[in-house]
Amino acid sequence: MTNKRWAPQDLLWPLNEAETKHAPKDLYVAGNRDLLRAGPTVSIVGSRKASGEGLARAAKLARLLVERGVIVVSGLAEGIDTAAHRAAIDSDGKTIAVLGTPLDQSFPAKNRALQQEIMRDHLAVSEFASGTKVGRHTFPMRNKTMALISDATVIIEASDGSGTIHQGWEAIRLARPLYLTKSLIDNETLEFPRKFSDYGAEVLTEQSLDDLIRMLPNGRREVPDEIPF
């Protein structure tokens, strides 16, 4: 584990105005930091108290993305996040965990072994220095950072009060593609899917997934030493 503090643009790419405005001041990483520039990244996010169908959808999407060379990003929480990370690893893919805690803490505690595996063989990212007091406020902050490092976000399952909603709005603010499962769109008890749809969120289908894959960056991001005028 490293305590080295990085500026986001040193790990990612030259940030545009919107990215700079909403990026965290610092990032801390453990694992293969080259994954942040190694190719397309897609966040799979959703409820901690996920249904069996939601867990299955998260795992299926992670496997399909890995098959297409996409790095799976999630937040190491219970439920949807854990299913996405685990499926990506079990499919011989790569995954990035964006933490709502410093790197030397684990939440939930039951994911400590998974976190250690990711920090060893994949990548964990946090904007929180060791010793930072963790609370409910740190996890929405984590979601904003996850939206920043992801080329697109897919919400699998969530309630109107879910912290996942923060990531959806941040993806929209950063002009990143946002996708929702059909089960969310069809759920008439939820308000957020309709609000997101009004801002351009799309329904995740076999066809829209193919469209998403085609619009993702192709291959490794090259960061120039200087940005030309």
| Token pair 């998974």 in the structure block, residue | 114
pLDDT band at 226 (very low <50, low <70, confident <90, very high): very low
pLDDT higher than 90, residue 118: yes
Q: Model's pTM, two decimal places?
A: 0.93
Domain ranges in the chain are: 24-213
- Least confident window among 20-24, 31-35, 111-115, 146-150: 20-24
Q: pLDDT for 147-184, tens place per residue?
A: 999 999 999 999 999 989 999 999 999 999 999 999 99
Residue predicted with more confidence, 107 or 228 = 107
Q: pLDDT for 73-103, tens place per residue?
A: 999 999 999 999 999 999 999 999 999 999 9
Question: Which residues fall within 8 angstroms of residue 116, CB to CB, at 6 or more apart?
Answer: none
Of 224, 227, 213, nearest to 71 by C-alpha is 213
SS (H, E, C) 155-172: EEECCCCCCHHHHHHHHH
User: Could you give the CA distance from residue 61 to residue 157 in angstroms, rounded to a whole number?
Assistant: 13
Residues 54-63 as b/e (b if ≥16 CB within 10 A, e otherwise) read bbebbbebbb
Q: Does domain 24-213 have CATH number 3.40.50.450?
A: yes
Q: CA angle, 228 as apex, 226 and 229 as ends, to 5°? A: 140
pLDDT band at 228 (very low <50, low <70, confident <90, very high): very low
